[in-house]
Amino acid sequence: MEMKGLDYVVLNQGNAQLTELYRAHIGDWPKFFKMDTLSKAGFVASELLLKKIGERRCEGDEFIQNRAIVLFGSTASLCADRNYQETIQDKDNYYPSPALFVYTLPNIVTGEIAIRNHWRGETSFYVLEEPDAAQMAFHLACAFQDSVTESILAGWVDSRMNDDFQVFMTIIRKEDAADTERLAGQLQLIINDLNK
């Protein structure tokens, strides 16, 4: 049986690109402007991917409602951490902000995407040393052990600085994960693209 490669979206070109893409292709989710870079990057990439595969947002479709979101990254929320740290570093300029603090958790991006799509499945964020295709494939295959998970929005999301990020998003179906080695091979192709 011939299996086609995974559909995916890669973004890595600065914050201005994210706002531009948002205005050009999304436009109906003002929460976007509140998000930190990590969430913006993950959100925009997920929206573009869903457009690309032609999936409609569909309330009441259990198959889609149960979709899991499993993301990986190496810097986690470091960028948001630095932004928040600035607000508490100086005694004379101390203004801790809840709007910044909430983004100091990397799994917030999984929540942002779940809210947008009304997905009530599993959401997970794993921190790895680097985008290791074999390690990601193993943990994605593990996620299908959940009784309701039939598909996963999976990806790599990293942001070191406010204007510096790397993200890919792809959809993995249960059958894609049956052969973990093959899945790792497919993820490696995407990672190669990410590093271009």
Residues at the contact surface with other proteins, assessed by CB under 8 A: 69, 74-76, 78, 81-82, 84-85, 88-91, 94, 96-98, 101-102, 104-108, 110-112, 114-115, 117-129, 132, 135, 138-139, 141-143, 145-148
Nearest distance from C-beta of residue 124 to other proteins, angstroms: 6
Residue 27 vs 98, nearer CB to other proteins: 98
Nearer to other proteins, 15 or 124 (CB): 124
Angstrom distance (rounded) from CA 23 to CA 123:
27
Contact 34, 88 (CB under 8 A): no
Beta carbon nearer to other proteins, 91 or 196? 91
Residue 5 or 57: the one with the smaller Cβ distance to other proteins is 57
**For residue 165, what are the contacts with CB-CB under 8 A and spacing of at least 6?**
11, 12, 15, 37, 38, 41, 79, 157, 158, 159
Task: Please check whether residue 70 is in contact with residue 122, taking contact to mean a CB–CB distance below 8 angstroms.
Answer: yes
Phi, then psi, of 152 in degrees rounded to 5: -130, 130
Least Cβ distance, residue 57 to other proteins (angstroms) = 12
Which amino acid is it at 82? R
User: Measured from the CB of residue 24, what is the shortest distance to other proteins in angstroms?
Assistant: 25
